[in-house]
Structure 1
Amino acid sequence: MADVRIGISGWRYEPWRGDFYPTELTQKNELYYASRQVSSIEINGSFYATQSPKSYKTWAAATPDDFVFSVKCPRYITHIRRLKDVREPLSNFFASGVLHLDKKLGAFLWQFPPSFRFDEERVEEFFKMLPTHFKKAVALAKESERYDAEYPKEFARSNRPLHHAMEVRNHSFENPDFIKLLRKYNVALVLADTAGKWPYMEDITADFMYLRLHGDEELYASGYDKSTLRWWADRIELWEAGRQASDALTISEDKPPAAKSRNIYVYFDNDMKVRAPYDARTLMGLLGQKRVNTEGPTPVPELGL
């Protein structure tokens, strides 16, 4: 059975307080609350700064057993180093404790800046370094001289797969060779709705899909009306069943990898005007998904996390 996760990018936003978050909710319990309204959340603090093993353990403990996180990977690798000489920062990232999310770890998001152009050799060298299983990530983490995640011993033996997705923002990536490269390494092309600002490609490149909905009219701000969300729901149901829409906007003429079903991650990033959590819940409803008490505030205990 395919697993379709609908959620939000981040959860700490001041405008959400007293709107999506009940007025009486303490900030330390916002993740507890949000994780009972949607089925997945993108951790984006890891994009800006190195997180700690304690943070990842705390986030895992605050969320339901069936919850899943995706993790936005360091901009130091994607925006500053721009994939040059990134073996050390890559090992530091995996040594920072991210695998402590354990069974709640979904996919890794690698987002690149608009100025980063397609360089086939550089991208392929990066893909070769990306760990595809827990044990490979642990081996990479052990190369770090800066961090020690103290992972459980069983992680070093685990063949549990890791999933990677790549979000590009330069039109040079609208290239069949890029699609071919993603498929070679089973890296998902992020299908990003960016109000027409950056590339929109529906090529399926991996055994899962990753969508980021940033707003269809105004980037990071505009909400999605119900008819538009119905369009997305119809699309998602096709992809979930291993199919592709007949009118899909693709770069490659080659058929996508065959699949009877696909896991899908969908994250709303139109958070500026408090649209993301509501759009996520509406889309979940259209797909027949429910979380705890989506009609009103969820009682939140004082966890002290």
Structure 2
Amino acid sequence: MHTHYIGTAGWSISSAAASRFPLDGSHLQRYACVLPCVEINSAFYRPHQPATYARWAASTPEHFRFSVKLPRSITHERRLRDGEAELDRFAGEVLQLGNKLGCVLVQLPPSLRFEADVAAQFFQVLRQRFDGMLACEARHPSWFETDATELLVQQTITRVRADPPAGQPGPHVPTTEAAYVRLHGSPRIYYSDYPAAYLAALANELAARAPVNSWCIFDNTAAGAALCNALDLQARITA
């Protein structure tokens, strides 16, 4: 069983990394032969049919895991309020992944302030539908204050450690034993390649966390850097 889930946002295989993957199969099948997880960012923008999730699950190895991003209709449009119907629809889709659903990712808009009652109700409703790992990437400074941290701890919601850290006023404060790292690219978000020294330090940090589950998703996909960075990090951890 993996304890380090290293992957990318989406499973596109760039030409720079293509030689490190099998030639046969769909992009997802080829990707899943090499990396242990993927983040489905497209679920944020549009729904996928339950049969699509079932097909993705069936086409990947038993150890493979998916993280699925919660729809923006819940986080950005309803802003965590009155989203039960959308959550039911989303759950009906992604639960077709079965035990390959490794995490549900909640990314909040930078303008969304922490409101204790709203957040508590939302995470309770979310937890009723998903009993696995839940991760939250908040981007307003109020979500890093003491009361927000306490709520995430109480509800066992893993605070995402993001680079660059939007809204976070100080060092990362974890809220569960698990880790979820999202690397968007720095200094140029979505584009920049992470240097070898950064990846080496991150590999040492993640290796020290075993056997606690650690997710690391590279979102610097715009110019194809994510896949090479993920492969590099995985090689450093398993060396």
**TM-score normalised according to structure 2 size:** 0.91
Pairing 1:287–2:223 present: no
Which structure: greater helix fraction? 2
Kindly report the root-mean-square deviation, in angstroms, between the aligned alpha carbons of the 2 structures: 2.2
What CA distance in whole angstroms lies between the structure 1 residues aligned with 2:178 and 2:224?
28
Which residue is 2:137 aligned to?
167
* Larger Rg belongs to: 1
* 1:144-293 equivalent positions in 2, closer than 5 A: 161-194=131-164, 197-199=166-168, 201-240=171-210, 261-288=211-238
- In the alignment, which residue of structure 1 is the partner of 2:52? 55
Match of 2:119 among 120, 123, 128: 123
Q: Which amino acid aligns with 2:224?
A: V
Paired letter, 1:270: N
What's the CA shift for 1:35?
A: 1.4
The answer as to 2:1 corresponding to 1:4 is no
> d(CA) in 2 for partners of 1:205 and 1:284?
25
**C-alpha separation between the residues in 2 aligned to 1:38 and 1:7?**
6
- Partner residue of 2:66? 69
> 1:21, 1:76 → 2: CA distance?
35
Picking from 85, 88, 102, the partner of 2:85 is: 88
**Distance in 1 (alpha carbons) for counterparts of 2:109 and 2:78:** 12
Percent identity, aligned pairs only?
33
User: Which residue of the partner structure matches residue 110 of structure 1?
Assistant: 106
Indicate conservation of the 8 Å contact 1:127/1:185, yes or no.
Answer: yes
Change in Cα spacing, 1:165 to 1:197, as seen in structure 2 (3 Å) is closer
* Distance in 2, Cα, partners of 1:61 & 1:273: 29
Q: Which runs of 4+ in 1 moved over 2 A?
A: 16-22, 196-202, 237-240
Residue identity matched to 2:204: D
1:224/1:17 CA distance change after superposition, 3 Å? closer
Q: CA–CA distance in 1 between the matches of 2:15 and 2:57?
A: 25
Query: 1:155-212 CA distances to partner (integer Å, 9 max, x unpaired)?
Result: xxxxxx4111100111222201111100000000001112x55427522212421110
Instruction: Give the stretch that moved more between structures: 200-209 or 227-236.
Output: 200-209
Q: Provide the rounded CA distance (Å) in 2 between the counterparts of 1:119 and 1:271.
A: 33
Structure 1 regions of 5+ residues with no counterpart? 138-160, 241-260, 290-305
Give the letter aligned to residue 51 of structure 1: H
Q: Secondary structure in 2 aligned to 1:239?
A: coil
How far does the alpha carbon of each residue in 1:46-80 deviate from its partner, in whole angstroms, 9 at most, with x for none?
11111111110111122122111111111100011
Task: State the match for 1:39 in structure 2.
Answer: 36
* TM-score relative to the length of structure 1: 0.72
CA gap 1:17/1:288 in 2 versus in 1, 3 angstroms:
closer
Change (3 A) 1:284 1:128: same
* Unpaired stretches in structure 2, ≥5 consecutive residues: none
